Amino acid sequence: MRITIPTKYFIFDILAAILILISFVLVMFFTPVEMTMGLVQKIFYFHVAHAWIGMLSFIVAAAASVLFLISNNSMNDFIAESAVEIGLYFTIIAVVSGSIWAKPAWNTWWTWDPRLTTTTIMAFIYAGYQFLRQSLDNPEKKSRILALYCIIGCISVPLTFFSIRGYRSIHPVLIGSESQGMNMTEPMIATMIISIFSFTILYLALMHHRVLYAKIKEETEAEKYEMELEDERNS
Amino acid sequence: MKKFLVTLIALIRKDLTIERHTREIFLVMFFFAVSILFILNFVLDTEIKTRYNSAAGLIWIISVISGQLCLNQIMSLEKENDMMQAFLAAPIPLTAVYISKTITCFLGMYGMTLFLFPLYSIFYNVSLYSANLLWIAALGCWGYASMGVIISAMTIQTRMRDILMPVLFFPVIIPLIVTVVKVTQTSFLGESLSSVTVWISQLVVFNIIFTTIGIISFDSLMKD
């Protein structure tokens, strides 16, 4: 089977590559070195972008799952599958980069902060979704079960956040807080916004490719499943 | 409504009768819980205060892990001899199947958890008696069972059902566990429950959300 990747996909790829490069240059040479944390603070520009993509991806996956249950359109299932996989990688990178940052900043690799804990639990739910996808055979039931698990997971994440928010937090609040915020300068804020935007474009580029892959994979698996059923009937 | 109740009672009676004859679920689950309780002796600090402070968390962890045995079995019963297909073919509401499974699982979990409180008190020489535990445990166990049955209904349709169950279930159930441990701990410490009103409300809300999810989604999970 010959697979043709549409040209418009490459536009996103090139745009994402240029923007990521610009973000990298800005982070390394344009932003000032933070007074107390020093150079390690620069991780933050990528850490926030990854955490944002993780969260966005989870919302996209849940929305696609709801749409799948309503419309039964398999494209929504492909979007959910792709969003979960990409979101899982971005979330893991966000947690690991946060941990690398935490060691010099908070003098600990890990703290049971509500945001950290919730993000990690979100990664567990994503991972569970991946395992569930691998172990289901019937293509029709598979999509429905996965859509339901994705919605349950999406409901569970905010519940987890609310249930543990009472615990003490040392995580900086970037938006809507003056007392606990990082007191970022204008170049810092601008770079952070550009970084988030660049990674969002990268996310879109990855999603395009992953959805195409999911579509091809599903068609192949459905054919394989049909052939296996046929063999069972004949034998 | 009458048909729903008749079906519900018949299904619960069926599960309990199977359990009475085979003793494959509740008894195994109970002995598993007691064996973990014993093992804890070798890892817990000998200081009474530590044992007292960690009682709520440990008891609920034991319940959660042991309860998983019940969840694995409760849906697997219907997998044998294609009983699920019979349910689908029968003119009964599938919601009744979900509620009956939740009630059966709840009964097993609740009974076991209520046994664990005095057992922990006896083994570790701490006093954990409070009438409030009756309803706190009921709320914790119902939330656990209502979500557990749904996840179990998903995993029985997979190739690696027993292994997959905890991987899918535990991350989802965390908010309930955090809340129920907090309320139980407050009750153990003899403090007024008015200081944890928010947590109790959360516990009730989680139960409502989990049960609603179960009722809404069970039909589409099971049908072909």
* Domain extent listing, chain A: 47-172+183-225
Closest approach of A107 to chain B, Cα-based (Å):
26
> Which stretch of A2-16, A141-155, B139-153, B171-185 has the lowest confidence by average pLDDT?
A2-16
From the list A155, A156, A163, the residue facing B179 with the nearest CB is A163
A192: Cβ contacts below 8 Å, ≥ 6 apart? A44, A45, A48, A49, A184
Q: Which of residues 20-39 of A touch B (CB under 8 A)?
A: none
Q: Write the CA distances from A136 to A109, A133, B42, B108, B155, integer angstroms.
A: 37, 6, 40, 29, 9
Q: What is the pLDDT of residue B25?
A: 85
**B167–A135 CB contact, under 8 Å:** no
Preferred mutation among A152, A157, A228 to probe B, highest tally of B CBs within 10 A: A152
**pLDDT surpasses 70 at B16:** yes
For residues B15-43, average pLDDT: 88
Q: What is the pLDDT of residue A150?
A: 93
**pLDDT surpasses 70 at A167:** no
**pLDDT surpasses 80 at A170:** no
Whole-number Å distance between alpha carbons of B159 and B142 = 28
Preferred mutation among B84, B144, B178 to probe A, highest tally of A CBs within 10 A: B178
Answer for the pair A193, A175: CB distance below 8 angstroms, yes or no.
no
Q: What is the pLDDT of residue A1?
A: 63
Q: What is the pLDDT of residue A101?
A: 86
Query: Which residues sit opposite A38 in a β-bridge?
Result: A34
Question: What residues of chain B lie within 8 A of the CB of A140, using their CB?
Answer: 224
**A135–B160 CB contact, under 8 Å:** yes
Q: What is the pLDDT of residue A173?
A: 57
Q: What is the pLDDT of residue B131?
A: 86
Q: What is the pLDDT of residues A104-135, one digit of tens each?
A: 888 888 888 888 888 899 999 999 999 999 89
Structure token digits, residue A177: 């807080």
Q: What is the pLDDT of residues B48-102, one digit of tens each?
A: 888 888 889 999 999 999 999 888 888 888 877 778 888 888 888 889 999 999 9
From the list B147, B167, B221, the residue facing A145 with the nearest CB is B221
From the list B158, B213, B224, the residue facing A132 with the nearest CB is B158
CA geometry: angle A22, A28, A34, nearest 5 deg: 130
Closest approach of A42 to chain B, Cα-based (Å):
31
DSSP codes joined into one string, B84-140:
HHHHHHSSS-HHHHHHHHHHHHHHHHHHHHHHHHHHHHHHHT-----THHHHHHHHH
Q: How would residue A20 be classed by pLDDT, with cut points 50, 70 and 90? A: very high
Number of domains chain B is built from: 1
From the list A125, A140, A164, the residue facing B172 with the nearest CB is A125
What residues in chain B have their Cβ under 8 A from chain A's Cβ atoms?
147, 150-151, 154-155, 157-160, 164, 167-168, 170-176, 178-179, 202, 206, 209, 213, 217, 220-221, 224
Question: What residues of chain A lie within 8 A of the CB of B221, using their CB?
Answer: 144-145, 148
For residues A180-190, average pLDDT: 73
B34: left (phi over 0), alpha (psi -120 to 50) or beta: alpha
Structure token digits, residue A113: 């902060």
H-type alpha helices, chain B: 2-22, 26-43, 48-53, 55-79, 83-89, 94-124, 132-155, 161-188, 197-222
B80: Cβ contacts below 8 Å, ≥ 6 apart? none
**pLDDT surpasses 80 at A177:** no
For residues B128-135, average pLDDT: 86
Domain ranges, residue B109:
2-222
Q: How would residue A182 be classed by pLDDT, with cut points 50, 70 and 90? A: low
Q: Which of B195, B149, B204, B197 is nearest to B175 (CA)?
A: B204
Q: How many CB pairs under 8 A join A and B?
A: 80
Q: What is the pLDDT of residue A181?
A: 53
Q: Rounded to the nearest 5°, which phi and psi values hold at A187? A: -60, -35
Question: What residues of chain B lie within 8 A of the CB of A95, using their CB?
Answer: none
Interface check A71 vs B, CB under 8 A:
no
Interface check A136 vs B, CB under 8 A:
yes
Q: What is the pLDDT of residue A80?
A: 95
Question: What value does the mean pLDDT of chain B take?
Answer: 89
